[in-house]
Structure 1
Amino acid sequence: MKLKRVLASALLLVTLLTLPARAAQASGAKGEANITPDTPMAKIRSNPSVMGAGLYTYNQEQDTPRDIRKWKDTTLREYVNDCTAEDCAKGLNRMIENYNSGIQITYKLYTDEEIAAVPTRQKAEIYYFPGRDPGGKFVLVIGGNAIHTSAEMREGVSTAEWLNELGYTCFVLRYRIGDQAADNAPLEDVSRAVRYITEHAEQFHVQPEDYAVLAYSSGGQIAGLFASDSDTLGHKAYGVSKPGALLLGYPVNNFFELKPVWGLLIDPYADGPRYFDYNVSDYITPDYPPVYHWYGKNDVTLAKMYTPAQGRVIEKALVKNGVPHIFHHYHNAPHKIGPGRGTDAEGWITEAVAFWESQTAAKAADTAA
């Protein structure tokens, strides 16, 4: 009964949170693109264009009114962090300008019938950040999560801004986490996002082939499994094409001793292993897509999951299987820094995109030959 009351309260809260956005969409109201890193979250959320765009901005709260009150008066900088605030503010302003010009930002990934069958699918959606070069390749951005905390703004919007500056169209994924992530839901959401974008490639003005997946932290673990040729966990299992490259920032390879904890919190009734039980390194084969990955020596989060079981193990698997890749192990690159301004990792996205382009160009040349 207690679980039912919690779920009912969460559903009510989600409904209440979506009401302002629906009202803004219905009225056609527009807000100014004047967000800075020091803008309070309450002001950002009351901006008619942010509400109308439909971006999910409650990424720190744990779905309780108390948490919402706690965070509403904090600034964007306090809400995300110093490394991502500047890019996040610019990304939000770009989104506002896009919305004000008539561009749809939010796209649901499942039909009404599919959501009725599995209500948690209501959460899954993508946010569209069009680039300046129509017809180019696209990037799917997957932020990390910590059971109740997601990173659509800190890692998603900030990364979208960086990619937009480089000319690329990208889509920030909001996927199911926590007790909504049962039955490998995150993998289903990633595959559905790829399917939706590629099936609507002409509408989004992108190429459906050779897309990149840029992912962080636990999102990197999800992306790593999705990119594999596993018949049960990878892209083949969902009937979508393989990424042209994986671009990973501080990815989790092995949840190590946290696996039973995640099992109890996410999928306590599972009758077999779930996505968080698997290690990315175990699913790297010679057919794996090219990989750019990095993490920092001062990454406390990965240290809690036993650092020797993380990035270095992925690196060894890539070398063993002859997968084209670039690996960086930075001195100063903590967790949760996204594009990494002010750290050793700053500029990594530019280098990673160049690597992706070189790999797809080499693939095209081989095919032509």
Structure 2
Amino acid sequence: MQIKRIALGGIIMTVIMFSGCSTTVQNLAIGEEKTLETGKTEQESVTEKDINMNEKESFNAESNINDVIHDSAFDNYGRLIFPVDMEIEDNLKLKDVSSILPWYSEVNNDKTVEIVNYMKNQAMNGEQIFYPIYSEEEMQADADKKDTGLFFFRGNAGAKTTIINAGGGFVYVAGIHDSFPHALELSKKGYNAFALIYRPGAQTACEDLARAIAFLHENAEKLQIDMTDYSLWGGSAGARMAAWLGSYGTAYFGEKEYPAPAAVIMQYTGLSQVTGMEPPTYACVGTSDGIASYRSMENYISQIQQNGPNTKIEVFKGLSHGFGLGEGTVAEGWIDRAISFWEDNMNALDKR
């Protein structure tokens, strides 16, 4: 396994992954807003074979990751299901996905298989599951923007919305473990969940999240989603993104100003800087996390609480960094409590 591209180099990794110091983020205009590309204007007929994939056509733990990436159901976005910044060997199987997810623990192979089969079924049933957030012109001008977009895990039409940001140390995007499983669980509860694939690097990642927020607000009616009281979720580096956008707002990162989220849900990050503009914030972390100290997270949440917003933190004994949903561990069920925290803070007054 090799890392093909390191976004900010060794310095940013030292700062982001192993210190409690804050990272300075600069404002950079993104450019013109993008309108929704809906794709097909008429739903094509779906064959019985498309709807009911048999076991031979479904993925399993022995399926090669590259076979998933290149499956015809995913058009040209299959490569974004797995980290595009990691070297994926030809014989690497779904059961081995943890080998391309540095710094992560408790990777659940059954959940990985469930996710890729869910995605394939949705795509074969005619659902659009991936949305670019930049225009063709913007992607032509900056090729890295081709590696961005939103995977849509549909809930109920008109239901509330959340955006989930995987971590990866701002070196890669660990969506298959750190955002897709969360999005799938939220969709099962009826919420519309979007998992963001962003450009590694603290600055560009926040620009991409700001664009994603703008994109969803602009296209809420077409997507049949409700962006009032939306929430931002993230783990590790993705938690920093959620916190920064929740605190600084979209205008700081080049978009026009959109409403702040009703809640930020954070997992395992060493972020320490508090702006005083934080929305209600839930956090969880393990006591054996060697990257994001649970004591730093406790201090961070305590500072937010002193400024007035609702807060909640859960500390799980013995868990290390990047436990995701934490299924089969002492953290199992945390996502239900995080959802309840978000729900409790819906319809709150503007935090700004």
1:68 is aligned to: 88
Residues 1:57 and 2:75 are matched in the alignment: no
Pairs within 5 Å for 1:168-179: 168-177=191-200
Taking the aligned partners of 2:319 and 2:135, their CA distance within structure 1 comes to 40
Taking the aligned partners of 1:97 and 1:193, their CA distance within structure 2 comes to 25
Partner SS for 1:208:
strand
Q: CA deviation at 1:46?
A: 4.0
2:267 is aligned to: 249
Mean Cα deviation higher: 208-217 or 32-41: 32-41
Pairs within 5 Å for 1:71-82: 72-80=90-98, 82=106
CA RMSD of aligned residues (A): 3.0
Q: CA deviation at 1:45?
A: 2.7
In 2, are the aligned partners of 1:85 and 1:154 still within 8 Å (CA)?
A: no
In 1, are the aligned partners of 2:160 and 2:230 still within 8 Å (CA)?
A: yes
Taking the aligned partners of 2:249 and 2:189, their CA distance within structure 1 comes to 33
Taking the aligned partners of 1:105 and 1:82, their CA distance within structure 2 comes to 26
Taking the aligned partners of 1:53 and 1:118, their CA distance within structure 2 comes to 17
Partner SS for 1:329:
strand
1:207 is aligned to: 226
Structure showing greater relative contact order (alpha-carbon pairs closer than 8 Å, 6 or more residues apart): 2
Deviations along 1:149-193, one digit per CA (max 9) or x if unpaired, are 32121112211221122221111100111xxx37x2111100100
With over 3 angstroms needed to count, the CA separation of the structure-2 counterparts of 1:84 and 1:60, relative to structure 1, is farther
With over 3 angstroms needed to count, the CA separation of the structure-2 counterparts of 1:228 and 1:59, relative to structure 1, is same
Give the unaligned 5+ runs of structure 2: 7-45, 99-104
Mean Cα deviation higher: 161-170 or 291-300: 161-170
Taking the aligned partners of 1:145 and 1:241, their CA distance within structure 2 comes to 27
Deviations along 1:237-276, one digit per CA (max 9) or x if unpaired, are 74222111111111230xxxxxxxxxxxxxxxxxxxxxxx
Pairs within 5 Å for 1:2-17: none
Taking the aligned partners of 1:51 and 1:226, their CA distance within structure 2 comes to 31
Q: Normalised by the size of structure 2, how large is the TM-score?
A: 0.75
Taking the aligned partners of 1:231 and 1:150, their CA distance within structure 2 comes to 21
Residues 1:324 and 2:343 are matched in the alignment: no
Q: 1:289 aligns with which of 279, 291, 312?
A: 279
Deviations along 1:299-333, one digit per CA (max 9) or x if unpaired, are 12225xxx64x312211212211210111111033
2:40 is aligned to: none
Which structure's residues are more often helix, by fraction?
1
1:16 is aligned to: none
With over 3 angstroms needed to count, the CA separation of the structure-2 counterparts of 1:53 and 1:218, relative to structure 1, is closer
Identity %: 22
Taking the aligned partners of 2:210 and 2:153, their CA distance within structure 1 comes to 19
With over 3 angstroms needed to count, the CA separation of the structure-2 counterparts of 1:321 and 1:35, relative to structure 1, is same
1:87 is aligned to: 111
In 2, are the aligned partners of 1:125 and 1:173 still within 8 Å (CA)?
A: yes
Q: What is the identity, as a one-letter code, of the residue corresponding to 1:68?
A: I
Taking the aligned partners of 1:135 and 1:360, their CA distance within structure 2 comes to 15
Taking the aligned partners of 1:190 and 1:100, their CA distance within structure 2 comes to 28
